[in-house]
Chain A
Amino acid sequence: MLEFIQSQIIFYLTITLVLFVPGYFMLLAFFGKEKLSSLERVILSSSLSILITDFLMLLLSRVGIIFTRNSLILTLILFSFCCFIVYRKRFKKSPAIVDKNSLFTFSSKQLLFIMLVLFLSFFLRSAYLQNSSPPSSTDLGHHMYWSKLFSETGKIQNYTQSDIIKENEIYQIDSPRPISDFVIGEHLIFSAINLISGANFISAFPILVLFYINIFTLLAIFILSLRLFENNPQNKNIAIFVLLFCGAIFAIDPPQAKFIGGGVVGNIIGNLLMPITFYFYIRFLRERVTPFLFFALFLSMGLFYTHHLTALIFLLTFAIFILLALFFNFHATKKILLGEIKLLRSPLLITFFLFVFIFVFSIYTPTYLKNSAINTVVGATKKIEHTGLSLLQFRNILGEARFALGSLGFILFLFFYKKNDFKYSFLLLLSWTSIITIISLAPNLIKLSIPSGRVANYGIYPFALISAFVFVSIFTQKKFNNKLIISAFILIFIFTFISGFDGNVDYFKKNTTNKNAWQTIQTGNYLASKMSSTDFLASDHVYLIADSWLKLFFMRDYYFPSYRANFERYENGIDKHEFCTRDMISSPDGELGKKCFSDLGTNFVMVDKAMDSMQFQKLNNFWQIYSNDKINVYYRKK
């Protein structure tokens, strides 16, 4: 027990050092205790820290400093200390003007409501996530392979993958090719936390980090809402309902707890960075303070180093936002553009652009910019999941209540737009919502081939913002009869609650996933201890839980062990062009199966006991060498 408590304390300290401290001191260096409230400083620190840690690690790797516990702790502390020195120098003499912004002063009733919503948000997520440990998600297993690789080698490695090919009628593993599926910012924070705290990758730690990021996303949306509706007398109530719509209700549905448990790392980090980026842009546009623009640009850059899909959605939203801003201020277009260009001449921004230039061209270029990823995204849609959702599917992803209120709000915005009241907020929400709706429902309109369902999940945040605005605006209208208002409020509140919690009960039922995942992990342990570098393992993704985590035991290559993928991937003509991985498990005695075993030198096979043992038990050249409740392992005699 003492060891458990000790490891927990080290883990909490590490999280604080990696995901909070650098951002906090950087904000202090720029703003002191002015401009940002304590709550804003705390919330913004976490997203900035993710990027600072990423950039510092990329820099270390470029100058040849190996990632170790000491090098990382020293770098993070040194960076924070330098920021602290700047803060002391800049703000020591001037008396601290603490921004006692009434925007962040809540009544005790509002505060109690916030606490209750936070309690529900934490409670529902924790209850769901207890089934995700030990981790079993396929995506998270793939991501953690790269994080572990960076930790073990102490430097950034290229994202490459080998595959099975047929050359001169012989099946073989080809030489590694670059892949664009991963972005560096998805992996470095996990490597840093692993190295500093010593936490095992195959444990609850990756899930806890994603949980932390998800909670800060809710808080980021909360402060964004306060700033967006700053001029609205109901801004605090709107922000509280935003928190309710994102945090408590639909707490399990993607992109909330299900994305955490599913290890959708890029989306989760992207969902934190995007609202924070908008936050800084909005504040800059309203207050014209250059450091706000600096942070907005810094976070925009960070998005491109973290997740390509989020970066693309951000870029499109931003492009529409600029077009709309110019359209609504058509007569002042020239003045606006000239004003912005003048601002870009500030020394801070020139330094930043220089930093971007040096970073992208001589320190690290994101893989998807170098490879063919952009070509595969731009153009006609190829896969069925890229062809757009039906309105019903879109509604189901957003949640009935959010979809209904959000759509109503969207229409109200269009008709009752008052420029002075919602300067920029309205335009941002309109752009954000439109672009996600278009890509989700009709991606062909803008010639993009990206998964529509994934994009629709991004809609949850802008739709929640608009829904909360509509919800609060309607029920604070004084012209309606009081009793009518209260009855309607209760009715819609109940509808929202029921719709939000609908289906969540199933998620909490006791399931056997973790027991099965644990058995896969133990089988991996056994095989790693018995296999040498010349042995070759074939595994199965169709029936085995947590099979993607097996590669963390071997760390031989991203392709190892080879695995039988879902059957439709062999049939759609896009994903799988070889059939060895399928036939070595489905029909080991078939002509192709036997040839693949022989050509590839596969001598270990790991399969589901109930579904795939039969075909091996019939054969005399396979020994059943391992067995647990779920899995059998076979050794193929030479």
Chain B
Amino acid sequence: MIKSMSIIAKNKLTSEKKIILTVIIFLFFSFSFLAYSERKQTDPTGQNSWWELYFENPQSQDLTFTIKNYGKAKKFHWKKLEKENPVPLQEADIFIQAGQKSTIPLSLEIEKKIILEVTDEENKKKEIYKIIN
């Protein structure tokens, strides 16, 4: 870098034009670096390793839920649980690609606290619930 700057410093352009050129080049590289860095950070196939879990219809009694994966492709295991009952009412595995989401339709059969618990390959767990009485 210093060598190339030294070459620019010695060539035939006037010194103020060399300063202008240097600023433009540095601006271009800095902006590109920051924009690319942002793109990488928000790219689901990049280094992210998080996911979100939510109800599709948060205000109704419908239990349809979605898992959205912002990390690399992985397998998730979900369970539909009733409050204070460790035996799942329903459960299944689901594979979700990086940056993709999967919606699982579920309906309400009993009026109680129904918990949807999702675990990923690294054993990270999240849950959402609705309480119907």
How far is the CB of B11 from the nearest CB of chain A, in Å? Answer: 9
Quick check: A37 and B26 within 8 Å, CB to CB?
no
Instruction: Give the distance in Å from the alpha carbon of A118 to the alpha carbon of B27 in the complex.
Output: 10
Quick check: B129 and A208 within 8 Å, CB to CB?
no
Interfacial residues of chain B within 1-46, with CB under 8 A of chain A in the complex: 1-2, 5-6, 8-10, 14-20, 22-23, 26-39, 41-42
> Would you call B70 an interface residue if the criterion is a C-beta within 8 Å of the partner chain's C-beta atoms?
yes
Given A38-B20, A530-B58, A627-B127, also A119-B31 (CB < 8 A): no
A11 to chain B: which residues have CB within 8 Å? Answer: 31, 35
Instruction: Give the distance in Å from the alpha carbon of A250 to the alpha carbon of B76 in the complex.
Output: 47
- Partner of B17 from A38, A119, A626 at Cβ < 8 Å: A38
Instruction: Give the distance in Å from the alpha carbon of A109 to the alpha carbon of B70 in the complex.
Output: 50
- Mostly helix, strand, loop or mixed at chain A's interface? helix
B68 to chain A: which residues have CB within 8 Å? Answer: 522
Quick check: A626 and B53 within 8 Å, CB to CB?
yes
Instruction: Give the distance in Å from the alpha carbon of A312 to the alpha carbon of B2 in the complex.
Output: 42
How far is the CB of B8 from the nearest CB of chain A, in Å? Answer: 7
- Partner of B55 from A8, A37, A523, A626 at Cβ < 8 Å: A626
Quick check: A623 and B2 within 8 Å, CB to CB?
no
> Would you call A161 an interface residue if the criterion is a C-beta within 8 Å of the partner chain's C-beta atoms?
no
Instruction: Bits for A137-156, please: 1 = Cβ < 8 Å to B, else 0.
Output: 00000000000000000000
Quick check: B34 and A129 within 8 Å, CB to CB?
yes
Given A133-B41, A620-B133, A626-B54, also A122-B26 (CB < 8 A): yes
- Least CB separation from B50: chain A residue: A629
Quick check: B19 and A111 within 8 Å, CB to CB?
yes
Quick check: B50 and A37 within 8 Å, CB to CB?
no
Quick check: A111 and B133 within 8 Å, CB to CB?
no
> Would you call B48 an interface residue if the criterion is a C-beta within 8 Å of the partner chain's C-beta atoms?
yes
- Least CB separation from A635: chain B residue: B58
> Would you call B52 an interface residue if the criterion is a C-beta within 8 Å of the partner chain's C-beta atoms?
yes
Could you tell me which B residues sit within 8 Å of A by CB distance?
1-2, 5-6, 8-10, 14-20, 22-23, 26-39, 41-42, 48, 50-55, 58-59, 68, 70, 113, 124, 126-131, 133
Could you list some 30 contacts between A and B, CB below 8 A? A4-B36, A12-B28, A37-B16, A39-B17, A42-B23, A104-B15, A105-B14, A105-B15, A105-B16, A115-B18, A115-B22, A116-B5, A119-B1, A122-B26, A125-B30, A126-B34, A133-B41, A204-B35, A204-B37, A208-B34, A215-B27, A514-B41, A519-B52, A621-B131, A623-B55, A623-B130, A624-B127, A624-B129, A625-B130, A633-B58
Could you tell me which A residues sit within 8 Å of B by CB distance?
4, 8, 11-12, 37-39, 42, 104-106, 108, 110-112, 114-116, 118-119, 122, 125-126, 129-130, 133-134, 203-204, 207-208, 211-212, 215, 219, 514-515, 518-519, 522-523, 526, 530, 603-604, 620-621, 623-629, 633, 635, 637
